[in-house]
Amino acid sequence: MTDTATGPVAAEIAARLTAALAPTALEVVNDSASHRGHMGDDGSGESHFTVIIESAAFDGKSRLERQRMVNRALGDIMVDRVHAMAIRASAPGGR
């Protein structure tokens, strides 16, 4: 499993996704620098992310169901600390 999380929010994102979805691959990419000064930039340096996750839990699920699973796993992080998140979720083998 790859984990590129840095910073406390990114690390918590990775920990919650790992606990809830047992990913076989996980990347948490902090995109906040690209959004500095834009709406939603809270100055923390951890407001915008891309999550690339592969998990057997996604097998047979639609793209929308996978995104909902990720959002449920993240819970209050998505409301309180993250302004925007791009999610690329797949099952092993690209299913």
- pLDDT tens digits, 66-79: 999 999 999 999 88
* pLDDT > 90 in the chain, percent: 60
* pTM higher than 0.85: no
* pLDDT > 70 in the chain, percent: 80
- Beta partners for 30? 49
CA distances from residue 26 to 15, 41, 57, 73, 89 in whole angstroms, order as listed? 10, 24, 13, 14, 9
